[in-house]
Structure 1
Amino acid sequence: MSKLQDPVLVVDDEADIRDLMEMTLMKMGLRVETAAGVEEAKNKLDDNDYSLVLTDMRMPDGSGLEVVQYIDELMLDTPVAVITAFGNADQAVEALKAGAFDYLQKPITLSQLRSLVKSAVTVSDAPSVPPEPQKNVSTAAEPYRKNLQTPPARQPLPAQKQQRNINAGNGVPEGLKSLKERFNTGNSIGTDMEDAPQLGGEADMPRLLGMSPQMIEVRHLIRRLAKSGVPVYIAGESGTGKEQAARTIHELSERADKPFIAVNCGAIPENLMESEFFGYKKGSFTGADQDRLGFFQHADGGTLFLDEVADLPLSMQVKLLRAIQEKAVRRIGDARETFVDVRIVCATHKNLEALVESGAFRQDLYYRLNVVSLHMPPLREMREDLGALILYLLYRHRHGNRTYKLSPKAQEALLHYSYPGNFRELENILERAVALTVGSIIQLDDLQIQQNTNNAVAQPVAAAVEEALSALEETPLLPVGAPLQPFDPRTMQIQEYLDQVERGIIEMALEQTRYNRTQAAKLLGISFRSMRYRMERLDIN
């Protein structure tokens, strides 16, 4: 029997951060111990052995640098990594000189944390505690089953059928393959309850369906985030369900019985933002004929969801930052502040980090909002769930008791479309098709996507390839290799193709620099840490 691996020590004065890191590491199959400060960490290091130490830099009783130096004084062969404030490179350099092997910058993403831990210790990617058995696993029809008077009983699929693996023969995800086979039998598939395949999901998360690995990871992270009160930043393209994820976090939290207030920051005129967010007192300005509460007061005790937060003007960002820091707001015309207990969840389809670098979004507000990141996957990366989603939406948008079916050509078009608008676009396509179809068979023309089916996938890929190749052409040391094969949506997926392009670029850079990762990163204009993470993701040794 192999020796049990020593636990990981997490040192941070913020309980929410400690809990989140502990849950993440336990999910990776590691044992975890925590310390709330420098002195407690030193006491634990005196009495125990650890396979890795993760320490914050700024704590009330000292600096994480003291933890690094103490490990060096004890001559312990224990790797230690530090967590520094966003943009504070001096602390990171100082810690590396003192003996730290790596560092993370706040806000921390869980993918970065996992990569760092995997580079230091051996992990099994399996929880050390057996997971609790799932109860009442929902099917694709679960959200609307309550509307049926006599819902038919459904037996759960066997465990081996719940896995949606890619079929090695034709590159078609298993969920789509079964859907295509049912079309090819000569009978167009319908939307009866017995026809609807399982979309997976969990009974307490009816808003988030799907059995793709990405959605399983999203639900897994949401369940843990719901237990804490840390601010959450939800990233993702338009139509990927960011608000549904935010509502799910609220519904699973201790604040579930309190208000959930959703605000579209891009839809509020700039001159009305302060009054909408913080409220006003009667007589404070012309037209203020009565007292009014703002979004923060309405969400008191619950969750405030800031959608499209990147659209906030800089003047409002300053006021929002103070409200979050002080946990208090002052209505227009009021002389004193009112304390509010609000959990902030925000989302945007824009690149918030790029906006911070360009100065369009405040760095300090970004740090406050983005304590933990959650990424909602685009529909094109969930191909194994697409067939079941199509059936679910056809049933959802049916007229009366009519059963709608898809012609083979319509089905083929839906399976190979790229869905730049993601789930929202798929829903609009099928809702429109149900309204336009004559009879109960939905034809290709009813979908109104035939002109975009081939180009929608190829255009973003071609643009990405062109951008990558042009970057290479501007670098004299990197010759452009042979052109890639044209993208074929019938046999390829976007991410696989882009990974192939990125892998080729990185391998050329490594070859030119004799496999010196630091020099290759400089050649490509990226940081060494970014280079390392890209190589790990693409499995480049």
Structure 2
Amino acid sequence: MPSRCALVVDDERDIRELLSITLSRMGLQVDTAEDLAVAQRKLASQAYDLCFTDMRLPDGSGQSLIELISSRYPDTPVAMITAHGNVDAAVNALKAGAFDFVSKPVDLHVLRRMVQNALQLGEQRRAQAQLSNNKLLGESAPINSLRATIAKVARSQAPVFISGESGVGKELVARLIHEQGPRSGGAFVPVNCGAIPTELMESEFFGHKKGSFTGAVADKEGLFQAANGGTLFLDEVAELPLHMQVKLLRVIQEKSIRPVGANIEQPVDVRILSATHTDLSARVADGRFRHDLYYRINVIELNVPPLRERPNDIPLLADALLKRLAADNGDPGYELAEDAQEQLAGYAFPGNVRELENILERAVALCDGGIIHAEDLRLPSPPPATQPTGDAEQPARGQGAAATPPTLPDRLPDALPDFMESLEREAIQKALIECKYNKTKAAAKLGITFRAMRYKLKKLGID
């Protein structure tokens, strides 16, 4: 196996010698540079598996070296050496592309673990590059830009905030960040923050001790313990109540948790990725989300483009989804007829990739001979324009008019419960489409609670 090489850039001889000895004992060949110019020359003549750079150099800054390595040598993980307590410099380094940072005086135990993570990072990134590209389908400019950003932020340990509409694939993006990073050998633990009852949140996140409350018949591991050494993905993080936001902020700052009923805290090593389809900055402005937590989880922001902004990717996505459905159903394959392709190309997809998947799954069940036509897609029709009725006594829409009652068929079905269920299903599906598959907004539009909405979705079999 060829020797692995590291570059140490620092103007202090003692630091260069300390890191050289430590890295050499780990089996690395070590080169050193005392300033930016020497580091640039060595990078141009030698491929390195790892680089450490001081924050301040005699002829420039470590920040500029990190930016250079990120742009020209993206396969070389680089870590910043910072002064003790200089959090701003560390955050800026992570944003520039550093995978981690270490503070002076250097803790050798922390340094060794960081080196191991960095060396694993390059190998895992190369091994998983093709797999990841196959998962994130599309050749449009927005999706290519997203792939490049994922590869960059995966090298870092910084918290990443993933924004985007419902159904765009935020969890997929989070998984790719995890898989392409140094924590890919650890667990990826996703959690929907809006789906956990408020009274159970602390136990779910941090675990509990036996007897800590009624029903705690045994010790239970929480989500943070399950993700220890890996990644915790907080989906719909905007739904966290304020008291849990305070506790989460403390965990991020202290890197430790206290299970319910425990007397001592437990250290945890978890990378936090979070996402929401709502405007989190607006929630900060109106006091529903803590600004200090917002800045902690939003060190790096990554926006996932909606499907309507990359229409050229629709045929590729549809083809991949149809192949998967054919494999699941044991069928030879499905094909989109020309009229179906035209309809998909002209549709706005408010529910994004998730809606495309649901549309094709329904079409597969309805089509004949494996050929999907436009009528099999059953795309929602745009609402008709309001026509004047000529009735002077009828109030205009939006001016106190009552909602138009649903039109009943000439003959009601024999089973009234089945008929009522079909009306309920139609109303819920319409509300979901109008609210871009935001279940919270759809529930409010229908005048029911979010919990009631979840119950009805499960009862009616609506995905």
Bigger Cα displacement from structure 2, 298-307 vs 226-235 = 226-235
Q: Is the CA contact (8 Å cut-off) linking 2:94 and 2:158 kept in structure 1? A: no
Evaluate the alpha carbon distance shift between residue 284 and residue 227 of structure 1 in structure 2; reply closer, same or farther with a 3 A threshold. Answer: same
Counterpart in the other structure of 1:327:
255
2:275 is aligned with what amino acid? A
Deviation for aligned residue 1:406: 2.6
Matched, 1:238 2:166: yes
3-state SS of the aligned residue for 1:202? helix
SS in 1 for 2:288: coil
Q: Matched residues in 1 for 2:86 and 2:275: separation?
A: 33
Corresponding residue of 1:446: 376
Separation (CA, whole Å) in 2 of partners of 1:441 and 1:454 = 30
How much has 1:321 moved relative to structure 2?
0.5
Matched to 1:390, the amino acid is A
The one-letter code of the counterpart of 2:342 is E
Match of residue 494 from structure 1: none
How far apart, in 1, do the equivalents of 2:230 and 2:353 lie?
Answer: 27
Q: Within the alignment, does 1:429 sit opposite 2:359 as a pair?
A: yes
In 2 relative to 1, CA 136–445 (structure 1 residues): closer, same or farther, beyond 3 Å?
Answer: farther
1:304-343 per-residue CA deviation (whole Å, 9 max, x = no partner) reads 0000000000110000100111000000110000000000
* Residue 268 in structure 1 maps to residue 196 in structure 2: yes
- Secondary structure of 1:203's match? helix
Q: Aligned-pair distance for 1:261?
A: 0.5
Deviations 1:141-182 (A, max 9, x none): xxxxxxxxxxxxxxxxxxxxxxxxxxxxxxxxxxxxxxxxxx
Specify the alignment match of 2:137 in structure 1: 209
Once residues 277 and 215 of structure 1 are traced to their aligned partners in structure 2, the CA distance between those partners, rounded to angstroms, is: 33
Please say if 1:406 is aligned against 2:336: yes
**Contact residue 94 and residue 157 of structure 2 kept, 8 A:** no
List alignment gaps of at least 5 residues for structure 1.
1-21, 27-32, 53-58, 65-82, 87-103, 111-131, 139-200, 456-541
Amino acid at match of 1:280: H
> What residue identity is the alignment partner of 1:246?
A
1:293 counterpart SS class: coil
Three-state SS of the structure 2 residue aligned to 1:345 is: strand
Give the corresponding residue for 2:419: none
Query: Hey, what's the Cα distance between the residues in 2 that align with 1:384 and 1:332?
Result: 50
Separation in 1 of the partners of 2:126 and 2:224?
36
**1:89 corresponds to which residue?**
none
1:254 equivalent in alignment to 2:182: yes
- Once the two structures are TM-superposed, the CA of residue 60 in structure 1 deviates from its matched residue by 5.0
Q: Does 1:395 align with 2:395?
A: no
Residue equivalent to 2:268: 340
Q: Which amino acid aligns with 1:410?
A: A
Distance of 2:85 and 2:258 partners within structure 1: 35
Alignment of 1:437-516 (within 5 A): 437-449=367-379, 451-452=381-382
Letter paired with 1:414: L
CA gap of 1:136–1:292, structure 2 versus 1, over 3 A, is closer
Tell me how far 1:206 sits from its aligned partner.
2.9
Q: Distance in 2 between matches of 1:217 and 1:136?
A: 19
- How far the C-alpha of 1:85 sits from its partner, in A, is 12
Matched with 2:59 is 44
1:417 aligns with 2:347: yes
SS in 2 for 1:282: coil
Letter in 1 for 2:332: R
Structure 1 408/290 Cα, relative in aligned 2: closer, same or farther at 3 Å?
A: same
Instruction: Verify the 8 A CA contact 2:206 2:222 in the aligned structure 1.
Output: yes
What is the CA distance between 1:255 and its match in structure 2?
A: 1.3
Aligned-partner residue type, residue 422 of structure 1: N
One-letter amino acid of the counterpart of residue 348, structure 1: T
Amino acid at match of 2:358: N
Alignment RMSD:
3.8
Change over 3 Å in CA distance of 1:365–1:450 after alignment to 2: closer
Q: How big is the shift at 1:439?
A: 2.9
1:17 corresponds to which residue?
none
Q: 8 Å contact 1:260–1:304 — kept in the other structure?
A: yes
3-state SS in 1 of match to 2:135: coil
Distance 1:440 1:205, change over 3 A: closer
CA distance in 1, matches of 2:83, 2:334: 64
Taking structure 1 as the reference length, the TM-score comes to: 0.49
CA contact (8 A) 2:94 2:156 kept: no
Following superposition, the deviation at residue 137 of structure 1 comes to 12
Give 1:108 deviation, angstroms: 6.7
Alignment of 1:139-288 (within 5 A): 202-288=130-216
Q: Distance in 2 between matches of 1:357 and 1:35?
A: 38
**Cα separation, 2, equivalents of 1:293 and 1:229:** 24
- Paired residue type of 1:44: D
Q: Which runs of 5+ in 2 are unaligned?
A: 1-35, 41-50, 68-81, 98-121, 386-463
1:336–1:136 Cα change, 3 Å: closer
Aligned to 2:219: 291
Shift of 1:221: 1.5
Flag the 1:62–1:412 CA change in 2: closer, same or farther, 3 A.
Answer: closer
Check conservation: 1:284, 1:333, Cα contact below 8 A.
yes
Structure-1 separation of matches of 2:247 and 2:338: 55
Provide closer, same or farther for how the CA distance between residues 450 and 246 of structure 1 changes in structure 2, counting only shifts above 3 A. closer
Query: In percent, how many aligned pairs have the same letter?
Result: 49
TM-score (structure 2 length as normaliser): 0.57
Once the two structures are overlaid, the 10-residue window that deviates more, 363-372 or 405-414, is 405-414
Provide the rounded CA distance (Å) in 1 between the counterparts of 2:357 and 2:215: 41
Deviations 1:270-315 (A, max 9, x none): 0100000000000111111000010001111010000000000011
Which region of structure 1 is more displaced relative to structure 2, 274-283 or 380-389? 380-389
* Pair 216,428 (structure 1): closer, same or farther in 2 beyond 3 Å: same
- Shift in alpha-carbon separation, 1:454–1:239, aligned structure 2, 3 A: farther
Seen in structure 2, the aligned counterparts of structure 1 residues 412 and 136 have a Cα distance that, compared at 3 Å, is farther
Q: Distance in 1 between matches of 2:223 and 2:374?
A: 45
